[in-house]
Amino acid sequence: MSRLVRFFFLYLLAVVTPVSAQEVEPCATMVMDSLLRVKHPEIGSLDEFEIFLQRKIRERNDLLKTGRVVEEVVTIPVVVHVVHNGENVGSGANISRAQVEAQIETLNEDFRKKINTPGYNTHSRGADIEIEFQLAVINPQGQQMAEPGINRINGGRSSWTRDQIENLKTYTIWDPTLYYNIWVVDIAPSGSSQTLGYAQFPVQSGLQGLSEGGAATTDGVVVHYRVFGNSRKGNFPNLFPNNNQGRTLTHETGHWLGLRHIWGDANCGNDYCDDTPPQASASNGCPVGRQSCGSVNMVENYMDYSNDACMNIFTLDQKSRMRAVLRNSPRRRELLNSTVLGDTRGGAPIARFISDRQQVLLNGEVQFTDRSLNNPT
């Protein structure tokens, strides 16, 4: 390479690098997923997961078609780890209980397509996911929580890089088979790019010899405290204007249950849902009627990057994905047997055991865990 050419390349780098660093990255799920799979090759590739999930979606849809099985509304127990730096409750990253509750209420409105809320839509493919989220009342020590579903952590720093957060998760996580773990953190900007949140995708079951320990210790979602809550439900002045209606958690929970970005992270890419039109790229703002890839885009979909106020839809195919994940993915399906929502009914003990696998070869081993209710001996 001649000196002149080399100089030209160096010049190009110097000019191009700051520009790309300016790109906003609201959701870091895909980036974090790539890093996770390098660290834990045992969980396989995203493509392998997709093959598994497609099979499970077909099984679920066939089962429902028989009419002999009805899918129920299910409830997922939640713990919100509020990570702060010693601020008083209600100040800075140490967000108030009211702000947490406003956020969980919003999540339920969106997942239930609740009428008379911004989560409602009249689209022919708009789905009620029939999944609800409830703040846990029992902590891992079996005690009633003072603030249901809220675990306040003084992390000893004011903001957190994604590496630091991944480490924080490993020593603060609550059993991910009992709780949906949500960390609310001041996520440090990297360069001038600000991440609002990211999720860890579900994994497939049935991999022989798979030890899940590694990836299980970081399972859950991370959301910036300045987009967690809903300014329609209270006075939460810290919320970023375009992301102040709680849709970051809706989006990340979609990923956590197996959804992909609506543009498939590529130009007219694949999100594995037939009822979401192809789209060239992420949307910004609220470009209703946007056209790309030969179709009118569904910019109101929660798996786009539109402003919070713009969003109101998950589709039926997205529902199939999430419900298939919930039926089949380790650490997701177990949540439905969790007892941390405090079955305070009392009375006679209820026997409840869960197995670590649903299918087993002859002479294979199955491990059962006792999750019985009402203090049996």
Q: Name the active-site residue from 101, 109, 212, 252.
A: 252
Residue 199 β-bridge partners? 221
Query: Could you tell me the two tokens for 213?
Result: 């320990």
Nearer to Zn ion, 27 or 165 (CB): 27
Kindly tell me which of 135 and 203 has the beta carbon lying closer to Zn ion: 203
**Residue numbers at the binding site for Zn ion (CB under 5 A):** 27, 29
180 within 8 A of 133, measured Cβ to Cβ: yes
| Angle made by CA atoms 107, 97, 248, in degrees to the nearest 5 | 30
- For Zn ion, the closer of residues 244 and 250 by Cβ is 250
Active site residue 252: yes
Amino acid identity of residue 243, one-letter, is N
364-375 burial, b if ≥16 CB within 10 A, otherwise e? eeeeeeebeeee
Q: What is the DSSP letter of 208?
A: T
Using Cβ positions, the residue closest to Zn ion within the complex turns out to be 27
Q: Is 360 left (phi over 0), alpha (psi -120 to 50) or beta?
A: beta
Toward Zn ion, which CB reaches closer, 29 or 250?
29
Q: In angstroms, what is the minimal distance from the CB of 264 to Zn ion?
A: 12
Buried b / exposed e over 322-351, threshold 16 CB at 10 Å, is bbbbbbbbbbbbbbeebbbbeeeeeeeeee
Give strand pairing partners of 315: 126
Closest CA to 118 of 126, 129, 106: 106
Catalytic residues: 252
